[in-house]
Structure 1
Amino acid sequence: MAADVGDSIKGKTGRRRTQLLLPGAILLAVLTGAFGFYAAYTGVLPVPGQNGSHAKGAKTLPVIAFVPVDPVVVSLGHGGSDRHLRFRAQLEVNQPYEAEVAALLPRIVDVLNGYLRAVDAASLDEPTALIRTRAQLLRRIQMVTGEGRVRDLLVAEFVVN
């Protein structure tokens, strides 16, 4: 009988420990998660992938300007075709070269007209026509203006009708 009493005491305390262990573990997990959130939210702990060195090493953007190019309307095809291409764009230039590029606009429009008149009307129906035409025109404009002056060609209107 004395052995039975000892076993029942050990059984009750063992059961009590397991009953307290589960809620204690859940409470510990919740508190740890809450502390982790607080520390990351307030900046005490750095969040992986968002370190502060990213902002320190960031370069300042160069000062740029946009030079509008006169709209160009080109007839496509030979003779009896009534198709036309309307093209309007702006040049992204480094600001120190804005006046130089603006002075070269007549020559740039001439290059645009020359290339767009030579383009086959059937090739403009392809899905990659705008990308290909933009790359070709940008390279030709950079040849006219000189290296480092024109950064990009921004196509505002490219309509074939």
Structure 2
Amino acid sequence: MAQTQTEPEAAPSHSSRLPLILGLVLMIAGGGASFAALYLGLLPAGHGAAHDTATAPAALPDIAYVALEPMVISLSDPAARHLRFSAQIEVPAAYQKDVELLRPRVVDVLNGYLRAVDLRDIEDPAALIRLRAQMLRRVQIVCGEDRVRDLLIMEFVLN
């Protein structure tokens, strides 16, 4: 029988820890240099630099509000329920007088719309967004689409 001699495997050599220590030292030195450069103002500080500049916020648009008188609308309900509604119309300031002149027509169209809305639609919690969009569209038709920016509901109480 032939004997095969196996040479004992060489013990795994431990690699030097020098690259690890050198990398750690370079990382600390780089962090310190970055901090010093930002602290001394040699590099821009990213999003924080935008706050340091003297920029004024954008000017507000030239708008005005036309208040509508509070309305009490009797709903088509056997229990004789009522809706108390008040709103303001957001308009460009140049058209404020025009919209104030048309306020009776706006009240009329909103009164007619709210009387026709089904009570189940008003009681739905998500309905206010839909009702507001419908009322805004009607006000824009009465006053002119370019004269009315938005309809702000101040009071919407169902009793």
- TM class by shorter chain equals 0.7 to 0.9
Identity score, percent = 46
The number of residues matched between the two structures is 141
The CA distance in 1 between the partners of 2:58 and 2:46, in whole Å, is 22
Q: For residues 69 and 145 of structure 1, what CA distance do their matches in structure 2 show? A: 14
Greater helix percent: which structure? 1
TM-score, normalised relative to structure 2 = 0.73
Aligned-residue offset at 1:83: 1.3
Residue equivalent to 2:71: 72
For residues 82 and 143 of structure 1, the distance between their equivalents in structure 2, rounded to whole angstroms, comes to 30
2:35 maps to which residue? Answer: 34
Moved more, 22-31 or 127-136: 22-31
Give the stretch that moved more between structures: 102-111 or 80-89. 80-89
Distance across 1 between alignment mates of 2:39 and 2:44? 9
Give the Å deviation of 1:84: 1.0
Instruction: After superposition, give the CA deviation of every residue in 1:106-151 in whole Å (9 maximum; x if it has no partner).
Output: 1110011000000011111212210111011100000010121010
The 3 A distance-change label for structure 1 pair 97 and 45 is same
Tell me the alpha carbon deviations over residues 46-68 of structure 1, each in whole angstroms, 9 at most, x when there is no partner: 626x879xx98x96442000111
Alpha-carbon distance, 1:81 to partner: 1.6
Gaps of 5+ in 2: 1-15
- What root-mean-square deviation, in Å, do the aligned CA atoms of Structure 1 and Structure 2 show? 3.3
> Residues of 1 paired with 2:59 and 2:150: CA distance?
19
1:156 aligned onto 2:157 = no
Structure 1 residue corresponding to 2:96, chosen from 78, 95, 98: 98
1:70 aligned counterpart, secondary structure: coil
Paired position in structure 2 for 1:9? none
Q: Is 1:63 the counterpart of 2:48 in the alignment?
A: no
Q: Which amino acid aligns with 1:63?
A: D
Shift in CA distance, 120/18, structure 1 to aligned 2, threshold 3 Å: closer
> Are the counterparts in 1 of residues 64 and 92 from structure 2 also a CA contact under 8 Å?
yes
Task: Using structure 1 for the length normalisation, give the TM-score.
Answer: 0.72
Distance 2:60 2:68 in 1: 24
Q: Give 5+ residue unaligned stretches, structure 1.
A: 1-13
